[in-house]
Structure 1
Amino acid sequence: MNGLLVDDDTLYLEALQRALRRRGIECETAPDAAAALAVAARTRPDFALVDLKLGETSGLGLIEPLRAIRADMRILLVTGYASIATAVEAIKRGADDYLPKPVSADTLQRILLDAALAPAPDAGEREEDASLESPTMIPLHRLEWEHIQQALNETGGNISATARLLGMHRRSLQRKLAKRPGPERRPPFD
């Protein structure tokens, strides 16, 4: 199985690419829409994981061109700014899944394997069965950690500016940074 990871956060891309490679899933990466389309045309991936916010553009605009390159490509839209409106829009445009960011490699592998084992629905069934729920809930402490990391990235690593951006005291932020969250627990399978 090969894939395409599209995100303007290069650290996240590299970490996810390495984690997927360890699981036997080869992926190419692209930091923007133009690079993503070029890579997709060259490699014709089985799936594409596309971030909703790609700098100043939206990942929603990539769904149709990617689908045109390969009609059976599984397109998963991820975002740290999840909302029902964008989820509905993503599904209407042809995305197969809409997931909260960060998506772990285990969650992504499980989604892809479940999709490979399930019979392909026709277009009418896809619209009726468009589920907006994530297969696993990301723990709150993990979401908080990712939100802090995003704010740190936006402020160039400045702790004081990050604390102001997040509306918290600098020392509180430093305490939270000292407590890096552990790995996510997997839910039991039925």
Structure 2
Amino acid sequence: MTSERVLILVEDDEALAKTLKRSFERRDYTVLTADSHAAVLSLLGNHKPGYAVVDLKLGPESGLVCVQSLHAHNPEMLIVVLTGFASIATAVEAIKLGASHYLAKPSNTDDIEAAFARSTGDPSTPLAPRPTSIKTLEWEHIHEVLKDSDFNISEAARRLGMHRRTLARKLAKRQVG
């Protein structure tokens, strides 16, 4: 396979992976999927993708290891890191390891393709801070703790230092996804 329109999608969330795969296939990409670093290495043995979309948090693994392996396999590959847990530290490391762009979730196929198209930096990017409400920060923290506790509400509530019913009420107001 040539690397022209071959994309490797590294995502451990099956529903998101399936959605992105279908969307990229409609745009004439050949999409290979992997849910771990080992799966990425296996795919790289037989394929030479020109594009990659990598989730930063792959269960217990870091997607940064995948970024490093993908870049080592093909330094010309355009790699976009997607994350629901964006931070300056991981953005810097992703770029150092070979990622072309770093996008916060939710991002769609249009956002990712736009990132592939922007292979150089943009000095006119505005320096405005990303507005984040306290409710959004709280929700992101709750979701991260939930994911780390395998979505066990009792365990997540213990780790968050709140009553299980309080956490259940918060979750009922906003769906986990």
TM-score of the aligned structures, taking structure 1 as reference length: 0.64
Equivalent-residue separation in structure 1 for 2:144 and 2:22 (angstroms): 25
| Pairs aligned (count) | 165
Say if 1:3 and 1:176 are closer, same or farther in 2 by CA, change over 3 A. farther
For 1:62, the equivalent position in structure 2 comes to 66
CA contact (8 A) 2:100 2:116 kept: no
Equivalent-residue separation in structure 1 for 2:133 and 2:21 (angstroms): 24
1:71-150 aligned within 5 A: 71-100=75-104, 102-104=105-107, 106=108, 108-113=109-114, 115-116=116-117, 118=118, 120-121=119-120, 126=121, 145=139, 147-150=141-144
CA contact (8 A) 2:80 2:115 kept: no
Deviation per residue, 1:75-134 (Å, 9 max, x gap): 12234443323322221222111233x443x2x432314533x5x54xxxx5x86x7x9x
**Aligned with 1:173 (options 162, 167, 172):** 167
Helix, strand or coil: the match of 1:174?
helix
1:137 deviates by: 7.4
Overall identity of the aligned pairs, in %: 44
Unpaired stretches in structure 1, ≥5 consecutive residues: 184-190
Helix, strand or coil: the match of 2:8?
strand
Which residue identity is paired with 1:160?
Answer: S
The yes-or-no answer on 1:154 pairing with 2:133 is no
For 2:51, the equivalent position in structure 1 comes to 47
1:66 deviates by: 1.2
Equivalent-residue separation in structure 1 for 2:6 and 2:141 (angstroms): 29
Equivalent-residue separation in structure 2 for 1:96 and 1:137 (angstroms): 24
1:142 deviates by: 6.5
Say if 1:180 and 1:51 are closer, same or farther in 2 by CA, change over 3 A. same
Say if 1:56 and 1:154 are closer, same or farther in 2 by CA, change over 3 A. closer
CA contact (8 A) 1:46 1:74 kept: yes
For 1:188, the equivalent position in structure 2 comes to none
Which residue identity is paired with 1:159?
Answer: I
1:36 deviates by: 0.6
Say if 1:158 and 1:67 are closer, same or farther in 2 by CA, change over 3 A. closer
Q: Alignment RMSD, CA only?
A: 3.6
Which stretch shows the higher mean deviation, 159-168 or 79-88?
A: 79-88
Say if 1:27 and 1:151 are closer, same or farther in 2 by CA, change over 3 A. farther
